[in-house]
Amino acid sequence: MSIMYSRTNLSALIEGAEKEAARGCGQSDVLYEARVQGAYASILNRAPEAERAETEAALRKRGFDPEFVPYEAGEGECSLTGIEVDCCPCGQHP
């Protein structure tokens, strides 16, 4: 999905990104966070130069963290979800 960026539909863009990020995340907050932060960053990237500050402020209100670093999985944890591989619902663990 790609709604054209415009300042008038910014909140719709943000809501859409959050819904999209939540889809298929199951119980994983880690996965949701990684997806939603990526979506926020891509909204900001699409904002025209003149509207970046305003857009970033709106995104920060929703929890955007420009310093966000994707989660690094520990021993026995899924790198996608941060859930122990035995319980992880992502489907990548045979």
Q: Which residue is nearest to Zn ion (CB)?
A: 78
Cβ proximity to Zn ion: between 37 and 81 the closer is 81
Binding positions for Zn ion, rule: CB under 5 A = 78, 80-81, 88, 90, 92
CB of 46 to Zn ion, least distance (A): 30
Q: Please answer whether residues 54 and 41 qualify as being in contact, where contact means their C-beta atoms are separated by less than 8 angstroms.
A: no
Cβ proximity to Zn ion: between 59 and 78 the closer is 78
CB of 94 to Zn ion, least distance (A): 11
Own/partner contacts of 66-72, CB < 8 Å, gap of 24 or more, are: 66/41, 68/33, 68/37, 68/41, 70/34, 71/30, 71/33, 71/34
Kindly compute the dihedral angle of the four CA atoms of residues 84, 90, 92, 94, in this order, to the nearest 10 degrees. Answer: 70
Cβ proximity to Zn ion: between 50 and 91 the closer is 91
CB of 59 to Zn ion, least distance (A): 28
